[in-house]
Structure 1
């Protein structure tokens, strides 16, 4: 895989996110030339904490600037694009649906239109990988789990709807008339080193268990989710990027789910985190406070099948939830005091 990526020009949106930062690290190690778009410097992101920002080319701007996107793609001769930028918080989506739709829907069609115009002018884009979400499926009964790529999209809440809309826009740009080499990925809850969105349960739980904050329960802990470690996600992204470049007619327009297919309820997940750091006393208090809590805008039960990505790419997750949490704890132990 390293030979394929050597000197490839890769653009990542959402490069200061923890998945983007981990992807940068792997791409650089594989010899790629990486470009990113940032609205402002984020000194506490994985990208900056690991010093990766000094090894790539960063452009100041955002996805609302259509001309900037077109200029970057054409002038830098971008070959592969990972579109990871998004407003990712379900709660923010409920409070500010306009921001969520602007970022997730408009941001996506701005980027894809720039790609279409670049292709029209003779520029060759080999692959475009778009990060969607398991939330795009909406809520299905437990007996219908795991989600499969053939399931109709039934979103209800703003965040879920924004991702489903973006997916349909991707489908439109991948038809023969435009021929953009797009693949949509729908992953379960991604976690791992560098995740600084502390509204997510894993980083919030680790930060609290290590004594840097107080965990405030937002639910009774009965919601069930599927978790996938960031290293496994990056490995899959790079496999998809390579294969889409080499076999665009085979993969164009495909949708791929990925997760561990090993669902866990939030209460059990918190127990794992706190038990790993031997913080049993705080855990008892938190579990007591979780009783009777309810969360708006959240789907009760979700997990993903990864049968299709195994068939196409021989991929399956290599980290158990215990291994991933332990690696994450080790990273936060070294870095939380810098934040």
Structure 2
């Protein structure tokens, strides 16, 4: 019998990659999207899965959960904001706390026992590595407390996968590595921070496989689990990343280090957290960058 997954956030870069990876590996996949969401870029996923529309009500989620009866819920939907404005607060709370709580409640009501959800390394800042970098990270941390309650009270098995920086072909997010690839060989200056901060960067294929690996860990357990595990890739400074992109791309990036200050509450050295240990060889950073460069060249032909 096929493993059955219900995915939130499938219209996002990582969620879409996860859906494609699961389908390739023989899973039955259902996705939840909001009415009016732009799903044109995951049409291949929609063609091979079942799509359910979320209207903001927990009753709708209960009906969806009862219809799908998944072995595991992959919860990746969130609102990511580096910096918030007063008008963003309601959406941050709803997207990152309320929706997930409704999801957990619907699992309890329908007897679904496993969830793997995305957290962020930005939750682990400061000298004690317990501070949130921004309000987005604080809402993600608050949701972890909600998950703890549903685990303690109802036996929900849950893995929080703590993500750092992620990348891959087709990523439309404003990511540093994409800016660097586009800046190869260009005369225009790229204003950057001093560049001494360390980043932890993972290829999206490894991230997608990590979600599946975490689910299988829950399936194998004979007891209810509650785990917080980091998805770790390659750790380099920003300056080193620039150098690697230049080497792989055989070109020069006109980077101006110190052209702008570090961001407020910048993490200079990521926390060392318990890791999810995969049983596969991860995508090497050089190879991932080469994929980005080749895709960029094709796009400009």
Give TM class, smaller chain.
0.7 to 0.9
Unaligned runs of 5+ in 1: 1-5, 120-124, 142-150
Aligned counterpart for 1:42 among listed residues 39, 43, 65: 39
Asked if structure 2 preserves the Cα contact closer than 8 Å seen for 1:236 and 1:315, the reply is no
Residue in 2 aligned with 1:222? 196
Q: Is 1:130 the counterpart of 2:117 in the alignment?
A: yes
| 1:10 shift after superposition | 0.8
* Whole-angstrom distance in 2 between the partners of 1:113 and 1:34: 21
- Relative to 1, partners in 2 of residues 1:248 and 1:90: Cα closer, same or farther, differing over 3 Å? farther
Equivalent positions of 1:208-247 (< 5 A) are 208-209=183-184, 217=191, 219-247=193-221
Equivalent positions of 1:1-339 (< 5 A) are 7-39=2-34, 40-43=37-40, 45=41, 47-48=42-43, 51-61=44-54, 64-92=56-84, 96-119=88-111, 125-140=112-127, 153-175=130-152, 177-198=153-174, 200-209=175-184, 217=191, 219-247=193-221, 249=223, 252-260=225-233, 262-280=234-252, 283-284=253-254, 287-288=255-256, 290-305=258-273, 308-310=275-277, 315=279, 318-334=282-298, 336=299
Asked if structure 2 preserves the Cα contact closer than 8 Å seen for 1:217 and 1:293, the reply is no
The structure with the greater share of residues assigned to helix is: 1
| 1:70 shift after superposition | 1.3
Asked if structure 2 preserves the Cα contact closer than 8 Å seen for 1:258 and 1:304, the reply is no
* Whole-angstrom distance in 2 between the partners of 1:156 and 1:82: 24
| 1:249 shift after superposition | 1.2
The structure with the greater share of residues assigned to strand is: 2
| 1:256 shift after superposition | 0.9
Give the total of aligned pairs.
298
| RMSD, matched Cα | 2.8
Asked if structure 2 preserves the Cα contact closer than 8 Å seen for 1:13 and 1:85, the reply is yes
* Whole-angstrom distance in 1 between the partners of 2:48 and 2:182: 29
| 1:15 shift after superposition | 0.4
TM-score (norm 2): 0.86
* Whole-angstrom distance in 2 between the partners of 1:299 and 1:174: 30
| 1:292 shift after superposition | 4.2
